[in-house]
Structures are given as structure tokens and as C-alpha cells.
Amino acid sequence: MLIDTSTGGNFGRLVKRLRDLPVNTDTLSALILTHVHFDHAANAARIREQYGVRVIVPESEAALLESGRNAPLDGVFPITRFLYKLLNGPAILNRITFKPSRWDIAVKDRRDLGDFGFNAYILPPPGHSVGSQSVIVDDEIAIVGDALFGVFPGSVLPPWAADVDLMVKSWKILLDTGCRLFLPAHGWPRDRELLMGQHVKHSETMK
């Protein structure tokens, strides 16, 4: 399975990396999109066409994928909120379109991936976008998309989110999986202890 696709300009690099893997990519059976933003879903249509995969998308964002549009966002930090308003963020997101894609499976709640041959499941911890979802593998590793970031030292808070309070609450959903390692789409892996500390810290600021 492939999780997310990067931006449209990275399609060639993505295919090369797939070819370089020590597995037969002809057996690629599914593309899971953690959410519908251009830097995660822009190559969904081309991957679907080239590999014949089934595209798995959050139910609440399926229509966005079909139209090549981005899920709504807002700034999380004071500076990113200011920039989002200053630059008219919604208009920018509307201008950054990508090739629309059909989808095959729309996920609303937990979805087991055993029928694809993996001890894994999809879990929806929303907040970064309305339909954000993560992939839990072997009850050890959570591939989380943008539900958290690995860019800023000592922090997991992304600079952008549709609903920051909901996103922080969703970290508890991820912690309840028992996973020890969390792999964000941006930056470095995060461990359980850091996520626990960040959940406590930002939950306090929400009160």
C-alpha cells in the first residue's frame, strides 16, 4: 500500500522511489490518502491509472478529491493565523488545484486493512482537516499525515489546521492505539512520550 502521493511536481520522484523498493510494485493494491490537500493527494489520479490501485479517501473529503480541490484550513499559531488572513488563505487554497481523482473506498470510521493483507487499520483522528485519517500498523506505528508535525523541536503542533482544538483532542485517539512511534508527513518521527506531553500541554491551553 502507498500512503499519500506528494505534490504533482514530485510524480517522477515518487515513481522512481517505488521502483527502487525491494518489492514488486506491480502488486501495489491501494493508495490511502490521509487527507485531501495538494501536497498529499495531487498524484492520486496518476497512481490510480498507472498501478490500478484502489484509492481510499476520507468520506467527508471524497468530493474534494473528485474536484481536485483542497480541504479548508486555518492558521494554528498567531503568526500563521495572521498570514492566513493577510494572504486570503481560502482564495490561495482554491487556486492551488490538482488533477481530480476517482476514489474506490470512502472511510468514515475505523476501517480494517486485513483484506489487503496487512495487520493494520485506518483510524480517523480529525482536526488538521475535517476528514484527517491515520494508518495504524501492528499496533506499534501510526502513520499520521498532518495530524501532527515533526518539524519543530519539542513540538508536534502543525502550523495549519481546520480545527486546532479538535486536532489536540484527536491526539488522545492516537495515544489510545498504544502506538510507540508516530510518523508525520512533514519532518521527523515522534515518540509516544513527546506526544503525551504535547497533548497534556495543549489540552490545558484549551480549558
C-alpha cell at 97: 488545484
CB 177 within 8 A of CB 123: yes
The confidence score (pLDDT) of residue 24 equals 79
The confidence score (pLDDT) of residue 43 equals 98
Partner residues linked to 134 by β-bridges: 123
Residues of the chain with pLDDT under 50: none
Query: Among candidates 146, 50, 60, which has minimal Cα distance to 99?
Result: 50
Please provide the average confidence, as pLDDT, over all residues in the chain. 95
pTM of the model: 0.95
Q: Domains of the chain by range and CATH? A: 2-67+74-206 (3.60.15.10)
Q: Convert the pLDDT of each residue in 63-84 to its tens digit.
A: 999 999 999 999 999 999 999 9
Task: Strand 54-58: give its sheet, edge to edge.
Answer: 2-3, 30-32, 54-58, 105-107
Taking the CA atoms of residue 63, residue 112, residue 43 and residue 155 in that order, the dihedral angle to the nearest 10 degrees is 100
Q: Convert the pLDDT of each residue in 135-172 to its tens digit.
A: 999 999 999 999 999 999 999 999 999 999 999 999 99
The confidence score (pLDDT) of residue 207 equals 59
The confidence score (pLDDT) of residue 22 equals 87
